[in-house]
Structure 1
Amino acid sequence: MNPRLAKAMVNGLLLGVAVVALLPLLWMLSVSFMTPGEASSLPPPLLPKHATWANYHELFARAGMGRYLLNSLLVSVAITALALACNLMAGYAFAKLRFAGRERLFQVLIGALVIPAQVAMLPLFLLLKYLGLVNSYAGVIVPAMATIFGIFLVRQYARTVPDELLEAARIDGAGELRIFVQIVLPLLKPIMVTLAIFTFLAAWNDFMWPLIVLTGQEHYTLPIALASLSREHVQDSELMMAGSVVTVLPVLLLFLALQRYYLQGLLLGSVKG
């Protein structure tokens, strides 16, 4: 087969798959600008007849979507910052520091990956209830401060840091904290960006755990608020699509802006780990 023809066929196939993947998102965006009831007509229109911002005005002026947006931003940023600090330190310790039971403890952590997260939700909820953290932002943030996957990801990448570099710093009198901050962290920048994006997206899109912990509506994050709003406006597809756009658009733009660094960190970790 002609190489140019083969290349054109592959590119055409990839373009077709991309269109199929993007079509629901584009239709969601289109419906969010339609007037009430317009999306329910048959056949469903692809574009609004008279585009309007009324659905977004309804969300922020009456449904309180601005408060829920700030809640999601606060929770996601706090989880990302704390998870980065904990996962980086733990991953580096498992990779480069020698202490009793290091390998056995790491094997236990890896084994815990096969346990479904739902299994731990009930005991975790009871623990948070005992600590008085139910219906608070801390109840959502604290359990996400460190993850086994994050520790594993950092450990695999930190193993590529040369031992000779760390030993030279120790010989020069640098303490472990100074070595970690001034030498190790700059070398871990690619995996830091990857882990930050991964953690932020997971925290932003999390539905189950905030639904369990947050009992007061004033603490709702965007996914919970959107589900609650759908029960009140079950027939208002246009309003629901506007809420979906508000929920999806920030993380979609973030991922598109940083996807190069995200993929670079994953690929470097897989090659060097």
Structure 2
Amino acid sequence: MLRSAVDDAVRYVLDGARTFRFDLTSSEVDSDERSSVGTKLQYHVIEQLKLRKEPPLDTKILHIPVEIKGTVGKTWMIPQEGQCEITLMIQIDTMRHRFRGLLMRTHRAWLNGKTGNRDRKRSPRADAVRQYADEIVAWTDLPPEPLRQLTLDQLRVVFGPGGITKRVTALFGYLPEVVIPRSSIVTVGARRDDPLRRAREAKSHVLKAHNLVVLVGKWEKDIAAARELGYDLSGAAWVAVPPQKLAQHGYAPADFGR
């Protein structure tokens, strides 16, 4: 659940459907936006864990007040009201596309400085984190973003001129048999009306250009066929597979002609 919360917060800030962005390390993402991931994260954590936004801190777990802090850096900034309280600390490693979760009572004696910054926020000392924080989620990979696998030349095509049909056709040609999340398809079709419908219209082009059959996680038959072939299309993901693989399970390209 924390994995989904972190992924949702990152995608919310990137806003790929409007910006074409899919990578927090991109130069198109400024430092303020990266910092805002931590702010958005608390709401996604509360939603995923089915908690409530509840004073005196961010939420309560088993009736215990808990502060939720996220960072894309190396430390967390603990507000004055959260000092000496239980804090769920989530760290996002943007370069390695992973995260971890720690639980720590952030005693003032374990925080850097005496007064903190102008907002009186203070960060936990690294040695105190190592000694006193409990690791509740070890470093864990975030859900894959296949667009990160593309080379610069491939990205220029996938995000270049020519409309969604051309972009999506190129995308599946570059990434055969790679499960592509719905959000990645929307990013490729950013700023266009109904990008998923337009992307589905590219299926025949993908078959003709690359001899690949696109399975879409919107349709039960596609989902079932993908499962038989070993692909998980949960979350309405997509995958392009060779017709030969489908034939081995009794399917033909015409079975997926929507």
Bigger CA radius of gyration: 1
**Looking at both structures, which has the greater relative contact order when contacts are Cα pairs under 8 Å and sequence separation is at least 6?**
1
For this structure pair, what is the TM-score category when the shorter chain's length is used for normalisation?
A: under 0.3
Q: TM-score with structure 1 length normalisation?
A: 0.25
- Return the structure number with greater strand share: 2
